[in-house]
Amino acid sequence: MIGLDGRRVAAVARKEIREYRRTPFIVGAMLVLPFVFLINPAIVIFLLSAAIKPAVVAREVGSTFLVLLIVPAVIPASIAAYSVVGERDQGTLEPLLTTPVRRGEILIGKALAPLIPSVGIAYLLFALVVILAHFFAKNPAVAPTLSDGSHILAQALFAPLLAVWSIGVGTAISARSSDVRVAQQLGTLASLPPLAVTALVSFQVVPLGVWTAVGFGLGLLVIDIAMWRVVAALFDRERLITGSRAVRTTRVGPGDSVGPGGVRRIRA
Amino acid sequence: MVSHLTKRFGERTAFEDVSFTVAHGEVFGFLGPNGAGKTTTVRTLGTLIGPTSGSAVVAGIPLSEANGGEIRQLISIMPENPGLYLRLTVQENLELFADLYGVRHPGDRIGATLGTVGLAARAGDLCGRLSKGLRQRVGLARALLSDPVVMFLDEPTSGLDPVASREVHDLIASLRQRGVTVFLTTHRLEEAERLCDRVAILNTRLLAVGRPEQLRTQLFRSSLVVETAAPLPTPEAVFTPEMGVDTWTLDGDATYVLTVADPRMAAPNVTRALVAAGADVMSIAVSRHSLEDVYLELVDEDPEARP
């Protein structure tokens, strides 16, 4: 975006990350939830016997792949859903909005803070699963299927795009919500629909290849852009402070204002 | 300069047809009952919300959505609730705002503002562990960070003990000396009287604007309070128009409240007349109306204030 000040964006992101670090719930959710999600499918693919056919292996790997993508979709959603309504709740939103910071700078700063750790965790988990599969999977087809180029490309593209959607929808809900808990629940729910797109690939409804990954990635990019346009429109100073947008009806020129030394009884 | 500014939320009018001018370096008090529109006025002038109609010039820049960023760079607003990030330290809170305002040499500036509010030793403390008074001071430090031309202070001494309030008063006085224009919203009338060059009294509409002394003179006639040792047998013979007394009333057994045009002329005349009448004079004093009297007079007679 044009006219954005990197120092302000970094300041907002740094503030958010500092707050996360001192909130045990957020740190705990980021560290524990991904592993909880992953335990069952990982065990299933690692225990697939060597006799199982490659087609079955591909299906099971596909479901693990989907679970890996839930992580960047779900984790940032509840954090983003807290980002605006939480500030309003603790009274910090108004001081923030009284500064020269632009709407885009706040939004990007607030988005970067959950995006970087969520995508980082998603990549780390994927790498971990691939490495563990190489050493511990009983079926020799599991590791090559997981580390196939199209899988890596899909993971590389889908994880950030799902996270960007999830943060956008969470921020949009947060900007319009007056209750932190409702915002977080709705944010988590609203982060899930794009997973349906990736599920088509995971469950091999659409065979995964490089061009499929790129095509689906572009599709996600388009809906991400549309979502962030909505978020930007919702992130209006007046709406955030009062809950409604300004309607300016007339503009009157300077009139009979009172000078510094004068006294005027406006109404008897 | 504010001219015919109005803000409505649907059918509800927050404030209407508000006009006044604040001079550079002036401490301007903004008074009014709850729901009078004071905070909404501050938010409007601070570019947080747009006016429904009217115009204003803030820090020399016309108030408009397009000029919002430029105006916000020159002003600072301290809301009644300082709104600090409680999980961040004092230093971290100020670092954020120094970056948002683009403050040069933020470390030095933060140190200087913390010194100004007497919190240099608390920079590393989490804001959540500070008392309300200290949080208010951090809020003030934050408002000072960008070296603003205009400061909007919304109830800056709310919840502070008398010592902390006095420190804030001293700070506001020092801002005036530095040429900062201060727009002070307060419920504390003695605070406004002590600190403000001029005050405006708002109750959705602006009821009055002027120096506290001028408002007193305009609203109330001067009066003398005379106390004698015993009731006067014929007070009407003493408190006469020739003595400079317009009207008089008995307030208690032997206390008389005299309405006079000029207390400097009437007081010696009345004293001589009382002595001539053989009265034992206990005291004669000029009655001085407070800003609170002015406020109550204006707000009470305002139909908007009546239930």
B225 and B209 housed in the same domain: no
B212 and B67 housed in the same domain: yes
B72 and B185 housed in the same domain: yes
Closest Cα in chain A to B95: A11
Domain boundaries, chain A: 6-242
| Sheet bearing B198-203, strands edge to edge | A264-265, B205-210, B198-203, B27-31, B181-185, B150-154, B75-78
Nearest Cα residue to B42 out of A97, A264, A174: A97
Q: Is the whole-model pTM more than 0.90? A: no
Q: What share of chain B is helix, strand, coil (3-state, %, to 5)?
A: 40, 25, 35
Instruction: Please name the member of B20, B68, B72 whose beta carbon is closest to the beta carbon of A258.
Output: B20
Say what the ipTM of the complex is.
0.81
The residues pairing with B2 across neighbouring beta strands, listed in sequence order, are B20, B56
Does residue B102 sit at the A interface (CB-CB below 8 Å)?
Answer: yes
Instruction: Please name the member of A254, A261, A264 whose beta carbon is closest to the beta carbon of B1.
Output: A254
What is the rounded distance in angstroms from the CA atom of residue B304 to the CA atom of residue B307?
8
> Which amino acid is present at B219?
L
Task: Calculate mean pLDDT across residues A137-152.
Answer: 86
Grouping H, G, I as helix, E, B as strand and the rest as coil, residue A248 is coil
**Shortest CA gap A67–chain B (Å):** 33
Q: Is the dihedral of CA B202, B207, B208, B213 positive or negative?
A: negative
Tell whether B253 is covered by a domain: yes
Domain CATH code at residue B195: 3.40.50.300
Domain CATH code at residue B261: 3.30.70.980
Tell whether B11 is covered by a domain: yes
* pLDDT in 10s for each residue of chain B, 307 residues: 889 999 999 889 999 999 999 999 999 999 888 888 899 999 999 999 999 999 999 999 999 989 999 999 999 999 888 999 999 999 999 999 999 999 999 999 999 999 988 899 999 999 999 988 889 889 999 999 999 999 999 988 887 788 888 888 888 888 888 889 999 998 788 888 888 999 998 989 988 888 887 777 776 777 889 999 999 988 888 888 888 888 898 988 899 988 888 888 888 998 999 998 898 999 998 877 777 777 777 777 665 554 4
Domain boundary pick from B202, B217, B232: B217
Q: 127-146 in B: which are within 8 Å (CB) of A?
A: 139, 142
Strands (E), chain B: 2-9, 12-20, 27-31, 53-58, 61-62, 75-78, 150-154, 181-185, 198-203, 205-210, 223-228, 245-250, 255-260, 281-287
> Which amino acid is present at A34?
P
Q: Find the domain containing B39 and state its range.
A: 2-217
B42 and B88 housed in the same domain: yes
A34-53 residue pLDDT tens: 888 778 777 888 888 888 88
CB A212 within 8 A of CB A206: yes
Closest Cα in chain B to A24: B87
Q: Which pLDDT score, from 0 to 100, does residue B84 have? A: 96
Encoding tokens for residue B141?
């430090």
Q: 69-98 in B: which are within 8 Å (CB) of A?
A: 69-70, 72-73, 75-79, 81-88, 92, 95-97
How many Cβ atoms are within 10 Å of A76's Cβ, its own excluded?
Answer: 32
Tell whether B298 is covered by a domain: no
What is the rounded distance in angstroms from the CA atom of residue B244 to the CA atom of residue B238?
11
B141 and B260 housed in the same domain: no
